[in-house]
Amino acid sequence: MSDLLKNFIVSDSFLGRYEKLVKEVVIPYQEKVLKDEIPDTEKSHAIENFRAAAKMLETGTCDDEFYGMVFQDSDVAKWLEAAAYSLLKYPDKELENRCDEVIELIGRAQQRDGYLNTYFTVKMPDKRWTNLEEAHELYCAGHMMEAAVAYAESTGKTKLLNIMSRMADHIYKRFIEEGAEGYPGHPEVELALMRMYRCTKNDKYKELAEHFVNVRGVDSDYFIKESQKYNWTVWGNNSHNKEYAQNQTPVREQTKAVGHAVRAVYLYTGMADVAFETKDQELKNACKTLWDNITQCKMYVTGAIGSAYEGEAFTKDYHLPNDTAYAETCASIGLIFFARKMLDLEKDSRYSDAMERALYNCVLAGMQLDGEKFFYVNPLEVIPGISGEAVTHRHALPQRPKWFACACCPPNVARLLSSVGRYAWSEEGDTVYSHLFIGGTLDLSFTLHGKIEVITEYPYGDRVTYRFKPDDTAMHMTLAIRLPQWSKETVIKLNGKKSNYETKNGYAYLTEEFTAEDEVTVTFDMSVRRIFASGKVSADSCKVAFSRGPLVYCAEGIDNDEDVLSLSVKKESEAESYPSNILNGIVEVKIDGYRAITCDSLYTHERPAKETCKLRLIPYYTWGNRGLNQMRVWIPEEE
Closest among 476, 64, 116, 545 to 304, alpha carbons compared: 545
Per CATH, is 3-423 categorized as 1.50.10?
yes
Pairing of β 635-638 and β 567-570: parallel
**Interacting residues of 376 by C-beta distance below 8 A, sequence separation 6+:** 328, 329, 366, 395, 397, 404, 406, 409
The catalytically annotated residue of 140, 199, 408, 409 is 408
Residue 270: is its pLDDT beyond 50?
A: yes
The CA-CA-CA angle for residues 61, 67, 73, to 5°, reads 95
- Which residues, other chains included, contact 601 with Cβ-Cβ below 8 Å and sequence gap of 6+? none
pLDDT of residue 1: 40
Angle at the Cα of 169 (from 274 to 194), degrees rounded to 5?
20
Residues of the chain within CATH 1.50.10 domain(s) are 3-423
Cis amide prior to 250 (ω within 30 degrees): no
pTM of the complete model: 0.98
Residue type, 347: K
Q: Where along the chain do the CATH 2.60.420 domains lie?
A: 429-523
Name beta bridge partners: 481: 434, 508
Residue 635 pLDDT exceeds 50: yes
How confident is the model over 366-410, as pLDDT tens digits? Answer: 999 999 999 999 999 999 999 999 999 999 999 999 999 999 999
Task: Give tens-digit pLDDT for 540-554.
Answer: 999 999 999 999 999
Exposed/middle/buried for residue 79 (C-beta within 10 Å: 0-12, 13-18, 19+) = buried
Inter-helix orientation angle 73-89/46-59, to 10° = 110
Q: Which CATH number fits domain 429-523: 2.60.420, 3.40.630, 1.10.3470, 1.25.10?
A: 2.60.420
Catalytic residue among 312, 328, 356, 556: 312
Residue 474: count of CB within 10 angstroms of its CB: 17
Lowest mean per-residue pLDDT among 127-136, 232-241, 259-268, 577-586: 232-241
Q: What angle do helix axes 409-417 and 329-345 make, rounded to 10 degrees? A: 40
| Span 439-463, pLDDT tens digits | 999 999 999 999 999 999 999 999 9
554 carries an active-site annotation = no
Neighbours of 285 (CB within 10 A): 12
Distance (Å, rounded) from C-alpha 387 to C-alpha 393? 5
Residue 232 has pLDDT above 80, yes or no: yes
Task: State residue 3's pLDDT score.
Answer: 63
The yes-or-no answer on residue 408 being catalytic is: yes
